[in-house]
Amino acid sequence: MPNSNCIRTLLNIPDKNIIFDNNSVSKTVTNGITYTTVDAVLTYKPKCCPKCGCVNENYSITKHSFTKCSVKYNKV
C-alpha cells in the first residue's frame, strides 16, 4: 500500500481509515464522459456492537461488511 499515502495526500483525505490498493486508480466512461476513478475501502475498529451495544475490548468484535459508495470531487 505505498500508493495509499500519495493518493490520500493528492485528494486531501485526512481519514486514515480509508485504504487504497495499488491498482485503485482507473479510467471509466459514463454517458460519454471520461472520469478518473479511485477505489478505496473504509475500515475501522468498531467501538461497540451496533446490535447489542457490547463494548469492543481486545478486538472481540470484528466488522465484516462493506458498503460501496461514490465520492464526487470537483474537477482538479
Q: How high is the pLDDT of residue 49?
A: 79
Whole-angstrom distance, CA of residue 39 vs CA of residue 52: 32
33 contacts 26 by C-beta, under 8 angstroms = no
Give tens-digit pLDDT for 3-45: 677 888 888 888 888 888 788 888 888 899 888 888 888 777 7
DSSP-derived 3-state class of residue 17: coil
Whole-angstrom distance, CA of residue 71 vs CA of residue 38: 9
Helices (H) and strands (E) in the chain, counts: 1, 2
Give tens-digit pLDDT for 48-75: 877 888 887 776 766 666 666 666 666 6
